[in-house]
Amino acid sequence: MLQLKIAARFLRSSRAQTALIIAGIAVGIAVQIFVGSLITSLQANLVDQTVGGSTQVTITALEDGDPVSYTSDIREALEAEERIAPDAIAPVRTLSALFDNPDGDSASLNLKAGNLVEIDPITNLTARTVEGVASLEDGEIMVGTDFAEKYGLTPGDDLDLIFAGNRTVNLQVSGIFDLGSAAVNERQAFIAPELARDLLGWADNEFSAIETRLDDPFDSAAVTESLRGELDGVTVVDWQEQNADLLTALQSQASSSYMIQAFVLIAVALGIASTLAISAVQKTRQIGILKAMGMGDRAAGRIFLFQAAILGVGGSLAGLVLGWLLIWSFSFVPVSFSITIQPGFAALSAGIGIVVALVSSIIPTRSTSRLDPIEVIQGG
């Protein structure tokens, strides 16, 4: 392709200019990839911290405090819902208790009671057990790291809990977990389902809530809506409704990142457009000569389209490498989350870089098409 060869030769003849604009595009695309990946990772991390280890769509009774009957209707509806992660359906009972601290102040605890095999796919309790073993047999309790530390508890220790009606129950610590939040680690504890059933005076199939976790937390609105249509006499709770503030914050963060990315792209586009415009002026004479020799208007215009394509592809590839380096170097920065490069997003950024370059070539391509060879020949 002659035009491609001419385009490459034109770019090579002004190496410094070409190198600068490729560097400019590369920095733009790298920032694009870095900011995009940073925001995506940060949001994924925040969402994971907020709902990763907890229920996302929850079924409760219509009235607060009443038990919900785990009927076969509910079971079938939940099991038929494909967006729920495998086995991530857990009927649980929740209640509060007062820890009777023999050495000082008492502390209140939120207890969640369920079968470990059912709770695990949602809370990941076994994997998060840092001391002792994950076990919720009758008479056992699992407490958080902060609680254990505060009261000097280790696995195998006994503790007394006082329940409503001044009923005291002695339980043995089987394991100590770390769910990633100090508040949860201090206030939350897990016990066996039977104990909670007896304490609450409920039937075998009565629970405080049926908890579920989804493959994609952001499917919760759709899943909630579908379950609400199928199930009567229960309340279906969506985590997104419960965390509207957080989601608004995430959305604002995403919007501001889109703004940054859009402006970066505009800067890249202006850079390429101005470089190509300058190149078109610098090469007016050559274009005039080529046209005098019989090169058509469209063919001559394509030279700058190819220049843009070379700059776009070169700059975007360099941007991918630079972006990857930026993300890699970020792994040495001590923050609570890591940035993972999003291959799809990186490819999209590079693609956008190339498209922006091609669009930027419109003006020089047009002016080149319009150039009359006589303007050059007469001008000497």
Q: Which chain residues interact with other proteins by CB under 8 A?
A: 2, 6, 9-10, 12-13, 285-286, 289-299, 372-374, 377-378, 380
Rounded CA separation 29/322 (Å): 8
Is 139 or 373 the residue whose CB approaches other proteins more closely? 373
Is 166 or 378 the residue whose CB approaches other proteins more closely? 378
List all residues 6 or more positions away from 308 whose beta carbon is below 8 Å from its beta carbon: 272, 276, 357, 358, 360, 361
Is 1 or 333 the residue whose CB approaches other proteins more closely? 1
User: What are the CA-CA distances from residue 257 to residues 9, 35, 174, 253, 345 (Å)?
Assistant: 38, 7, 46, 6, 14
Provide the minimum distance between the beta carbon of 285 and other proteins in the complex, in angstroms, as a whole number: 8
Is 6 or 237 the residue whose CB approaches other proteins more closely? 6
Is 14 or 172 the residue whose CB approaches other proteins more closely? 14
Provide the minimum distance between the beta carbon of 14 and other proteins in the complex, in angstroms, as a whole number: 9
CA 122 to chain CA centroid, nearest Å: 18
Provide the minimum distance between the beta carbon of 300 and other proteins in the complex, in angstroms, as a whole number: 9
- Tokens 């078109």 -> residue: 280
Find residue 271's DSSP bridge partners.
none
Provide the minimum distance between the beta carbon of 292 and other proteins in the complex, in angstroms, as a whole number: 6
Buried b (16+ CB within 10 A) or exposed e, 100-121: eeeeeeeeebebbbbebebbbb
Provide the minimum distance between the beta carbon of 22 and other proteins in the complex, in angstroms, as a whole number: 18
Provide the minimum distance between the beta carbon of 374 and other proteins in the complex, in angstroms, as a whole number: 5
Rounded CA separation 56/8 (Å): 55
DSSP 380: -
Is 233 or 296 the residue whose CB approaches other proteins more closely? 296
